[in-house]
């Protein structure tokens, strides 16, 4: 079995048992709601006063944290877990 440092193990186990709404930061939830409203990255950036690159990073993190890879999958996940309004 490969060695995994205690720090890496702790990082990997941190999200286990968290509720879906706890997985995302407040900002990621804001971005997710705007994605669900069909805002473009530029529109999200303008609305939240952040760069498009930051929006892209939030989107990447949202997909990773929700274990989804498509927009349809993400919206289905968000709706099923009451993450979007």
Q: What is the CATH number of the domain that holds 43?
A: 1.10.10.10
What confidence score (pLDDT) does residue 28 get? Answer: 98
Number of compact structural domains in the chain: 1
**Does position 5 have pLDDT exceeding 90, yes or no?**
no
pTM of the predicted model as reported, rounded to 2 decimal places: 0.76
Q: What is the pLDDT of residue 8?
A: 63
CB-based contact 75:84 (threshold 8 Å): yes
Is 2 within the bounds of a domain?
no
Rounded CA gap, 65 and 85, in Å?
A: 19
CB 66 within 8 A of CB 74: yes
Q: What average pLDDT does this structure show over 14-37? A: 83
Q: How confident is the model at residue 10 (pLDDT cuts 50, 70, 90)?
A: low
pLDDT of amino acid 20: 61
In a domain, 60, yes or no: yes
Residue-range definition of the domain harbouring residue 69: 24-80
pLDDT of residue 19: 66
- pLDDT higher for 40 or 5? 40
| Torsions phi, psi for 15 (to 5 deg) | -85, -10
């Amino acid at each position: 079995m490969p060695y995994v440092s205690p720090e890496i193990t702790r990082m990997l186990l941190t999200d286990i048992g968290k509720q879906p709404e706890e997985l995302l930061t407040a900002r990621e939830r804001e971005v997710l709601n705007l994605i669900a409203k069909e805002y473009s990255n530029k529109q999200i950036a303008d609305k939240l006063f952040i760069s498009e690159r930051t929006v892209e990073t939030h989107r990447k993190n949202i997909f990773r944290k929700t274990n989804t890879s498509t927009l349809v999958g993400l919206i289905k996940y968000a709706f099923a877990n009451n993450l979007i309004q």
